[in-house]
Structure 1
Amino acid sequence: MSSNEPSKTSGQFHSAKGNVVEAVGNVTGASSWTQSGKEEHAQGEAEYKAAQAKGYVEGTADRLGGKKDTIVGAVTGDKSQETAGNVRRDKGEAKQELNKNV
């Protein structure tokens, strides 16, 4: 994964860090910290949601590709392709489930 791609972990980190910075700003009266914290929190939440959406789309592609491979394998009698398709489909369904709150 490149640093330009959204990450759930990075998004959660920045969301939490933004909350801490905002709280420090509120306690100390430093409005620049409060604003900076709000902005970092919002950016973290946006990154998390982007990573979640990306994961769901990838899961959909795996599920559909696996289903196709399963069908082709079954029609042609290629048990290896059919099994690989089932595995890919299941992997895609699991990935969709992990990222379904989009």
Structure 2
Amino acid sequence: MSDTTEPSKTTGNYDYAVGSIKETIGNVVGAESLAQAGSEQAAKGDAEYKLAQTQEYAEGTADRVGGKIDRIIGAATGDSSREAGGLAQETKGKAQQAANS
């Protein structure tokens, strides 16, 4: 059965931290299997974090573009509510991009 959960920055950070600790302990006490397992867990965590970051950046891009379109249409048609909503969505998208770049 395949894993269908979304990538998570939190889970990625957790796996990276725990894996790094295991790897360090394994190296210190000479337990190669623990060091290897820790290295693999840290790599998995790092990859998950980066995937979640990329996905959130893409979502921010979609919000930014959609908001800009609504803002322009609202301004062109005199619909101040649509223009304001578009500006809010565009701003949200920019913030999400900045947080994930």
Instruction: Say yes or no: TM over 0.5.
Output: yes
Normalising by structure 2, we get a TM-score of 0.94
Q: Which residue of 2 aligns with 1:47?
A: 48
The equivalences for 1:1-102 within 5 A come to 4-100=5-101
Q: CA deviation at 1:27?
A: 1.5
Residue 70 of structure 1 deviates from its aligned partner by 0.2
Report how far residue 35 of structure 1 moved. 0.3
What is the RMSD of the two structures over their aligned residues, measured on CA atoms?
Answer: 0.8
Aligned partners of 2:75, 2:24: CA distance in 1, in Å? 59
In structure 2, stretches of 5+ residues that fail to align are none
Secondary structure of the equivalent of 2:6?
coil
What is the letter of the counterpart of residue 86 of structure 1? L
Deviations 1:29-76 (A, max 9, x none): 111100000000000000000000001000000000000000110111
Superposed displacement of residue 24, structure 1: 1.2
In 2: Cα distance, 1:63 partner to 1:21 partner = 41
TM-score where L is the length of structure 1? 0.94
How many residue pairs match? The answer is 98
